[in-house]
A and B are shown apart, each in its own frame.
Chain A
Amino acid sequence: MSAEAKKAMKDNFLVALAGQQNAGKSTTYNMITGANQHVANYPGVTVDKKVGSYREGKIRYEVVDLPGTYSLTSFSLEERVSREFLLEEKPDVVVNVMDATCLRRSLYFTFQVLEMNFPVTVALNMMDVAASQGLSIDLKELTNRLGVDVVATVGRKGKGKQALKAAIRKAVNQESYSRPVVIDYGDLETHAKALEEQLAADASLGALYPLRWLAIKLLENDSEAIKIVETKHTKGKIIVDDALARRQAFEDETGIDTSDYIVACRDRVAGEIVDACVTKEADSGQPVSERIDRWVLNRALAPFFLLATVYLIYELSIVQGYELTKYTWPFLAKFRDLVAGVLPPAGLIEDSLLRSMVLWMVDSANTLLNYVPIFLILFALIAILEDSGYMARIAFILDRIFHSFGLHGQSTLPFILGGVFAGGCAVPGIMSTKGIPDERSRLATILTVPFMNCLAKIPLYTLLVNIYFAEHKSWAMFFISTITIIMALIIAKILTTTVLKGRETAPFIMEMPNYHAPTFFGVAQRSLERTWEYIKKVGSIVVAVSLCVFSLLQFPGLTDERMDHYGNSMNKAIATYDAKIAGNAYADLATGEKMLPLLNLYDDYKRARMNASGKDGAASVDSSFKEANPATFILIKPRKDKAAKVVNRALRKLSSSRKSLRRKIKEEKIKTSFFGMIGRSLEPVTKYAGFDWKVNIALISSFAARESSVATMGVLYQQGADDNQTLEQRMDNESQSSGMNSLHALAVILFFALYPPCLAATIMVKVQTGSYKWMIFAIFFPTAVGFGVASSVFTLGNAIGANGITMMKGFYGLALGIALVIALVHKITSDKVSASYEYQTSNQ
């Protein structure tokens, strides 16, 4: 097809956005596509393929944001993916985003794209930063030298958007492509030319791939290029052997590694271009980043800055976020009431299945949605850390520690998101492992992030600590929040030295970004994105699973006999009620048919009053109830009406006996439910960890979502008929009779801390590792570890007669000791390696 015909029929152009990491590729991508984007996967790999589009009149431009890579070799997955995309899809134009502050290095990439013979438009990004560093770049000269259009942009501020679109339009409509800069490979040129000629012998290859590029790649000994030539060229094998021979000949002749030589050639051309185009103002002192880092990364002060940052995040997101939930909770409560109002009304002692099921689902979702304000703040703060450039510095400070345990400096972000300092969520945590270049560390991070204290684990911890470790509260909380990190590190070490041993690793070669002021839009977008991910989890998986848990708890249900028994008790209560208000002035309104609606109204009113905040809220609840029920409101709130007061008192009595009956039914139901059966059948095993069937049920149900554990416990521990008893008191009462003590609680805490990730997180494990094998491993391995730890602590504690707090201290000491030994061993061995290459001063 001729170029003209192709152009005439085309109204959809493919634009590839390529460039190095930290060049501001994603901001440029956001700038030109706006909100019109979606994320897909490249076939067969877990690399995200971001596709967006924009229109100009009838013409649609589809923009693909390639992964940020320094080069286009075949060493890393991202580079292979980018290269394959360019070669297979053959975009109409490649927009190369360059970082104006390090032009020389960015040019290496540009040269490689140009060598592949693509129409290129350069977006020279971060011009503002370059200007602030005293760099001025001669765009005309750069355009001349490169032979392609260069557009100055500031992606973060949206500058240069129109100019870039115009350049793209020009590039795709170009009739003939002007020949851009060609790298002169000096002594290698003869070899390259000879190889190119050999490759040209097979015409079909020339149509698919740029031959000069292939020739250079062969000389670079690029494995993918060799594969292409071997499979697609009739004399492929001979050419590859020839290329290797030429490579060897060159190295023998000059003593320089061929690949080094090729890079050095590119570097030389890049240097010439930079010298011609960039003028640097007389040194205006040190750059800002350097001045900040002198303090922030100071060897002695760095840990304190890090601790201060972590504390600030904790204070702002978890503490202040909880304050915020006080304002958002009424909305969720209102939503529940709204749903409850639509459903069939509550029965006397048993609700219809529909009502109880829907309310159960709404309750489960509400508990999770309650955390949304916390996550919004937390994710916004983390986005600020990332955008400002401090996150990379945290990785720098902590890499030594993480590396000792087989992890990577960049494991920091997943761990923080997962909840290092009490509060987070494993789902975004596992998602953010994508950035870790080291495959082994990445898998180890994915598998250990769920050990962090996610926000949903906190309620159970608080509950148990308040009951069993009330005197040592702060110590117990400290134990919980740090033991998880220690255990995660130890387990990461175990994993990386056993099952993950054969995985690829990568060094910690990271470019330290300059400090940037984060933009409001960028931070808000990231924060909303991650929170939305969390809400989606609530909306889909958790609600679906809560349904399963509900049915497992609900069925097979009580026998008719037992129901009759409870029915009789209820009837007795009603008879007492009827007797009390017989002859009362309001008797007509409060007995017979009208009794149940009145009772429900009474309960609704009480609940509404509980949720209402402040005097104004209470008053508005009053007025709305009065408006809806003008006749009966007086019975709910009698004020000084004596007859109404009598009815009200009787109502209260009836309501509380109904509640206690309902509770008894519920408990019996759970006991006889499928879940109860499972819980009890597990007792013979779990007794070694001190778990009874109630704890078993709570722990199993928490696999669906951690939050359920406390909710389930709440249902299970409800003997206290007295309404005002909190769950703490009820569990305390119960535990005194059943002999549960702090040792049991410690076992539960330990198991809960090491227990498998919740369902949503395991699905995320599947997404990020791309295999069901790892997902299943992520479920069973932690269960085994958790149960092993819990039962050994419990059994040992029982054997030596120690109480919970002693065992807690002992276990902490042991874990910390193991971790320190691992770190020490790593330090000694790595020092030995580098010491063996110590420079011999005697040579001097």
Chain B
Amino acid sequence: MLNKFDFFNREPASKKRHRGAGGRAQGRPCHMRGKSLLDIPIGEKAVIRGHFSGGAVRQRLLDLGFVPGREIEVVRVATLGCPLELKVAGYCVTLRRTEAYQIEVEDERRG
């Protein structure tokens, strides 16, 4: 199992990458090297690495428990494939694809 406070113990290598892509700057290009949430198949789990969204979206995601280090499960997608239902910390949250791809994750099987 993953340490839930992984956020504090991350290796320096992964830190460097996030420089400047911080929370408040909206509309910055997103140079994601890892997997985004969209790459996780339905029913699988992954661990949140960081956010590439900004402003209110980022704040709302953090408030809802999308804290880096947390485990997240892709529960299902809607009929037309767009909003995703994600399980985080025991409850379900819906997200559109346009927000989901801004969440960088680590695949649990590899991490």
Contacts and interface: CB of A to CB of B under 8 A. Distances in A.
A88 B39 CA distance: 46
Contacts of A517: none
B104 to A, nearest CB: 10
A507 interface: yes
Given A397-B79, A401-B80, A512 B85 contact: yes
Contacts of A396: 78, 83, 85, 94
Given A70-B60, A76-B56, A260-B23, A834 B91 contact: no
B18 interface: yes
B99 A507 contact: yes
B24 A509 contact: no
A722 interface: no
A257 B78 contact: no
Interface in A829-844: 830, 833-834, 837-839, 843
A104 to B, nearest CB: 6
B82 A221 contact: no
Given A257-B18, A510-B93, A512-B91, A302 B83 contact: no
A403 B78 contact: no
A209 interface: no
A254 interface: yes
A513 to B, nearest CB: 9
Contacts of B32: 837
A70 B78 contact: no
B24 A221 contact: yes
A251 B22 contact: yes
Contact of B7 (A71, A264, A397): A264
A409 to B, nearest CB: 7
Given A101-B91, A105-B64, A297 B85 contact: yes
A195 B79 CA distance: 51
A508 B95 contact: yes
Interface string B90-109: 11111111110100000000
Interface in B40-93: 50-51, 55-65, 67-69, 76-83, 85, 89-93
A260 B51 contact: yes
Interface string A482-510: 00000000000000000000000011111
Given A70-B63, A260-B62, A255 B19 contact: yes
Given A256-B18, A509-B94, A512-B94, A104 B82 contact: no
Given A267-B67, A399-B82, A509-B95, A257 B23 contact: yes
Given A302-B78, A511-B91, A837 B85 contact: no
Contact of A837 (B12, B15, B36, B81): B36
A263 interface: yes
A522 interface: no
A70 B68 contact: no
A268 B34 contact: no
Nearest to A268: B5
A73 interface: yes
Nearest to A511: B93
A303 interface: yes
A104 B97 contact: no
A108 interface: yes
A509 B60 contact: yes
A300 interface: yes
A590 B72 CA distance: 89
A510 B91 CA distance: 11
Nearest to A70: B63
A512 B68 CA distance: 21
Contacts of A830: 97-98
Given A509-B57, A839-B36, A102 B83 contact: no
A71 B91 contact: no
B23 A259 contact: yes
- Which of A401, A833, A834 has the most C-beta atoms of chain B within 10 angstroms of its own C-beta? A834
Nearest to B30: A837
Given A260-B23, A303-B79, A403 B96 contact: yes
Interface size class of A (residues with CB under 8 A): 35 or more
A251 B68 CA distance: 16
Interface string A79-116: 00000000000000000000001101100100000000
A210 interface: no
Contacts of B90: 101-102
Interface residues of B, number: 57
A258 B23 CA distance: 8
A75 interface: yes
Contact of B59 (A75, A838, A843): A75
Contacts of B65: 104-105, 267
A299 B62 contact: no
A75 B8 contact: no
A400 interface: yes
A147 interface: no
B97 to A, nearest CB: 5
B64 A75 contact: no
Contacts of A837: 30, 32, 36, 38, 101
Interface in A812-844: 830, 833-834, 837-839, 843
- Select the residue from B32, B61, B81, B94 with max chain A CB neighbours within 10 A: B94
> For A256, A257, A293, which residue has the most chain B Cβ atoms within 10 angstroms?
A257
A271 interface: yes
A512 B50 CA distance: 23
A70 B36 CA distance: 25
B67 A264 contact: yes
B98 A834 contact: yes
Q: Which of A70, A396, A409, A830 has the most CB of B within 10 A?
A: A396
A399 B89 contact: no
Contacts of A263: 62-63, 67
Given A256-B18, A396-B83, A399-B78, A507 B67 contact: no
Most A C-beta atoms less than 10 A away, residue of B39, B65, B85, B97: B65
Interface in A501-545: 506-512, 514
Contacts of B57: 506-507, 509
B68 A264 contact: yes
B23 A834 contact: no
A104 B89 CA distance: 8
A651 B80 CA distance: 69
Contact of A400 (B39, B56, B81): B81
Contacts of B89: 102, 104-105
B34 A839 contact: yes
Contacts of B62: 259-260, 263
Contacts of B7: 256, 260, 264
Contacts of B28: none
A110 to B, nearest CB: 13
B93 A108 contact: no
Contacts of B92: 511-512
Nearest to B53: A507
A508 B96 contact: yes
Interface of A: 70-71, 73, 75-76, 101-102, 104-105, 108, 186, 221, 251-252, 254-260, 263-264, 267-268, 271, 293, 297, 299-300, 302-303, 396-397, 399-401, 403, 409, 506-512, 514, 830, 833-834, 837-839, 843
Given A105-B63, A105-B91, A839-B39, 14 more contacts: A70-B60, A75-B59, A102-B91, A251-B19, A256-B7, A257-B23, A260-B67, A264-B8, A396-B94, A397-B78, A403-B82, A507-B96, A509-B99, A837-B101
29 contacts: A71-B59, A75-B55, A101-B90, A101-B91, A102-B91, A105-B89, A255-B16, A256-B7, A258-B22, A260-B50, A263-B63, A264-B7, A264-B67, A302-B79, A396-B94, A399-B94, A506-B56, A506-B57, A508-B83, A508-B94, A509-B57, A509-B93, A510-B94, A511-B92, A512-B94, A834-B101, A837-B36, A837-B101, A839-B35
User: Top 4 closest A-B pairs, CB basis?
Assistant: A255-B15, A400-B82, A70-B63, A400-B80
Interface of B: 4-5, 7-8, 12, 15-16, 18-19, 22-24, 30, 32-36, 38-39, 50-51, 55-65, 67-69, 76-83, 85, 89-99, 101
